[in-house]
Each structure stands twice: as structure tokens, then as C-alpha cells.
Amino acid sequence: MPDRSAILKRFELKEYPQPELLKLKYPIFLCHGYGAIGSVIKSGPLHDPCMKIREHGVVSIAPNIVPYARIETRAENWVKLIHAFCEDHGYEKVNVVTHSMGGLDMRCALSKMDVADRVESLTTIATPHHGSSLADLVLKAPELLTEKLSLVFDWFGDNVFPKTKSDALGSLEQLTCSYVTKVFNPEHPDVENVTYYSYSAAVGKGTKYSINPVLKFQNIQIFEKEGDNDAFVSTESAKWGTHLETVPLSHLAQMHLQMNKESKKIYDQFWINVIKRLAENGH
């Protein structure tokens, strides 16, 4: 005879079934990185993380800019959008959370452009603060191939974001280890009154976490040059300011792409942790 009380217990209503409410001093402004993969199948590369943050009662926005352009051009785009967002909605500042190249864009914006007064904190996720050997690997391909790929990416970028001219090859050159460490970093020091946080990520080779077979080759190539990585950026390259955590998610899974059961749970908790840590630190 089944225990009826145990069965009915499963249907007992929770008093608060909705996601946990979290509160920040300032809203979150999300900046995406290089490329437009996420834009093909959803409203933007960081649309899903933005919706995850909103689930917890935090004001957030994830606008789109030119997917393939030099850091300075992308930085100008972000600055314009941050000022517009604050002015349109009456916010004094924002907490900027960036993914990949978006972190370099915002470091450039903070260091060289008039936006530091609008930024409370900068959190970078898998940003190549010391470059990516993947960029070096791609640029070592035969010149004819890189030129053809550049034309395709520029054509695609110009069509998905026609407001700004794309420059796929020029922006890729700015992601190389040599450029970021020898040119970008010395020219873009951190600014005062903005707190810098970073997250790195690692899956596949050197870890116990699986990786999509499509990303396996580049994951191994980066591992041989730089060690643990998320198939695009190494853990060491992603560290900047106060490093908070190494997350077991691939570069694409961080944006809610190429998910499986294992990565879905990690993804959900990761983005909740991003909010909680900002709240705990008074941002």
C-alpha cells in the first residue's frame, strides 16, 4: 500500500516558488565579444544571460554592437550606449559585465574615453587580457585563406550590424598575445574608482569537464601553448584585477550555446553567482 502522505508531499506548494530576488545598487550593462554566432539564433550573444539576470529582479540590458571591428571602434559604440542607457532611464552608473573581447573594449573605453564616471565596476568573463594563441593560430593560416574568411566575416558583420563598418582581420590581429601584452596593456592602465573583477574558464584538455567535439582541436592547440582554456581563451589570460573563479564552461556555453545537462546547471549557477558577488561587494 503506497504512503499517501508521501505522494501528496510532492505536490505541496512552496511559499516562494519564484527565483530568488537579488538587489544591486546599480543595474548591469552587458557587453558581448567578437563574432555574431549568438545573434543568428537569438536576439544577441548575451541575450540569454541578460534574461537570466532579470529573472532575479536585477535590472540589466544586453545591447548589440558591431561584431567584427577594432577595439577602439567597439569601445566608442559601448560608450555611446552606456551614456544613452543611463540618461534615458535615470541611472547614475552601471555595473559593466563583459564577455571575451568585450572586456578589452571596456578597458579601452575606461582608460581612453569619457565613461569612467558612469561605471561602478567592470567584471570580465573569459577576456583575453594577455591575448589568445587561437588568434595567432588563425592568422598563421595561408594568406589567401585568411583574406577569404575576412571578406566573409566582414560581409556578414556589415549585414547583421550595418551601422558600423566591420574589420574582422584588423580586430583579430588585436587579440594576438603579442599585441595585447606589448601594445594594448601598457597603453590602457586601469582607472581609479572603478573596481575590476575577472572570471576565467576551463574545459576539455587538462580538466575533468567534457567539451563539444567541434571545439576539441582548438582546445588542444591552446592547451599546448597556454594551458587550461575554454577553447578560445586560457585561464591565465583571463585573469585581471580581482580574479574570482575559474568556471567549467566552454566559451560558447558561457553564452548559453552548445549546452548539455552538465553545462546547463553550471551556467545557471554561474550567472547567479556573478550577481551575488556584485551585491556582496556593495555594487
CATH classification of the domain holding 122: 3.40.50.1820
Tell me if 257 is assigned to some domain: yes
CB 85 within 8 A of CB 26: no
Q: What pTM does this model have?
A: 0.91
d(C-alpha 245, C-alpha 63), whole Å: 26
Tell me if 166 is assigned to some domain: yes
Q: Quote the number of domains for the chain.
A: 1
Tell me if 113 is assigned to some domain: yes
Tell me if 37 is assigned to some domain: yes
Q: Domain residues for 68?
A: 22-200+233-280
Tell me if 51 is assigned to some domain: yes
Which residue from 59, 62, 35 is spatially nearest to 48, judged by alpha carbons?
62
Angle at Cα 30 formed by Cα 161 and Cα 200, nearest 5°?
110
Tell me if 5 is assigned to some domain: no
Angle at Cα 132 formed by Cα 156 and Cα 138, nearest 5°?
50
The dihedrals phi and psi of 145, each to the nearest 5 degrees, come to: -65, -45
Tell me if 16 is assigned to some domain: no
Question: Per-residue confidence of the chain (283 residues) as pLDDT tens digits?
Answer: 556 666 667 777 777 778 889 999 999 999 999 876 655 667 789 999 999 999 999 999 999 998 889 999 999 999 999 999 999 999 999 999 999 999 999 999 999 998 999 999 999 999 999 999 998 887 776 565 566 666 666 555 566 667 777 777 778 899 999 999 999 999 999 999 999 999 999 999 999 999 999 999 999 999 999 999 999 999 999 999 999 999 999 999 999 988 788 889 999 999 999 999 999 999 9
3-state helix, strand, coil in the chain (%, to 5): 45, 10, 40
Query: CA separation (Å) from 73 to 62, 125, 157, 162, 163?
Result: 18, 20, 14, 14, 12
Tell me if 144 is assigned to some domain: yes
